[in-house]
């Protein structure tokens, strides 16, 4: 697949690197440090390159939006048309300092970051994913915890887009768990923020994976 990374920080850079090494064509974009982008692409190998956010979107089928929430609006306005693209968002209410101003009561929330993106780009297929893991785990050599692998919950309204995202999750070494429609992002983003904050407070961060058990 052709994957554009918008927000090539620890999350976006790490996931893009894994996908490039798995054989996907990856374009890294949107960092405040142009040098870092080039270092990242070099480390990711021959399937990776650097581009503008517009390039990253225009040349890709799948776009990973991995920016902190304060930069979301700026990022969305800088990337051109998202029509027909699969947008993966891992943007939760978490702020760069790990506080979470936008966390709310999940059952009373009127929207989510994922739904705001979908509303901004109604002809894109937005899928929320990757917010129940840490950049440190993505950057590690493997996602395995012994014989177990952590789960990634994902949700979205388009079945085909969800299947593609589930495969991309699996290729990163996680187990994809379908959490339903995009509206579920309201509670998934709340859970994601709570999970990170709990991990930090309990000092279990960052060597902590969440495995969803089903029966």
Give residues in contact with its own copies (CB under 8 A): 98-101, 103-108, 145-146, 148, 150, 153, 155, 177, 179-180, 183-184, 186-188, 190-191, 193-195, 197-198, 200-204, 207-215
In the complex, minimum distance from the CB of residue 108 to its own copies, in angstroms, rounded to a whole number: 6
**60, 101 in Cβ contact below 8 A?**
no
In the complex, minimum distance from the CB of residue 2 to its own copies, in angstroms, rounded to a whole number: 30
Tell me the β-bridge partners of 87.
63, 126
Phi, psi of 48 (to 5 degrees): -115, 145
In the complex, minimum distance from the CB of residue 144 to its own copies, in angstroms, rounded to a whole number: 8
In the complex, minimum distance from the CB of residue 208 to its own copies, in angstroms, rounded to a whole number: 6
Q: Which of residues 135 and 184 has its CB atom nearest to its own copies in the complex?
A: 184
Left (φ > 0), alpha (ψ -120 to 50) or beta: where does 171 sit? alpha
Could you give the residue ranges of the DSSP H alpha helices within 69-112? 72-77
Q: List the end-to-end C-alpha distance of the chain, in Å, as a whole number.
A: 33
Q: Which of residues 57 and 177 has its CB atom nearest to its own copies in the complex?
A: 177
Report the distance separating Cα 129 and Cα 153, nearest Å.
6
Q: Which of residues 125 and 190 has its CB atom nearest to its own copies in the complex?
A: 190
Q: Which of residues 41 and 137 has its CB atom nearest to its own copies in the complex?
A: 137
């Amino acid at each position: 697949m052709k994957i554009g990374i918008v927000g090539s920080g620890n999350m976006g850079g790490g996931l893009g690197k894994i996908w490039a090494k798995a054989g996907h064509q990856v374009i890294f974009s949107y960092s405040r440090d142009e040098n870092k982008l080039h270092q990242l692409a070099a480390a990711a190998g021959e399937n990776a390159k650097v581009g503008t956010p517009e390039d990253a979107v225009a040349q890709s089928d799948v776009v990973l939006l991995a920016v902190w929430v304060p930069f979301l609006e700026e990022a969305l306005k800088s990337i051109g048309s998202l029509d027909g693209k699969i947008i993966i968002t891992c943007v939760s209410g978490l702020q760069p300092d790990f506080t979470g101003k936008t966390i709310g009561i999940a059952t009373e929330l009127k929207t989510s970051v994922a739904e705001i993106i979908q509303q901004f780009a109604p002809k894109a297929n937005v899928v929320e994913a990757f917010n129940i893991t840490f950049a440190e785990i993505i950057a590690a050599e493997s996602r395995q915890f012994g014989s177990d692998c952590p789960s990634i919950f994902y949700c979205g309204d388009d079945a085909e887009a969800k299947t593609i995202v589930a495969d991309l999750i699996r290729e990163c070494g996680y187990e994809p768990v379908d959490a339903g429609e995009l509206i579920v992002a309201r509670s998934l983003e709340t859970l994601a923020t709570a999970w990170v904050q709990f991990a930090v407070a309990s000092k279990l961060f960052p060597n902590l994976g969440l495995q969803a058990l089903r029966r």
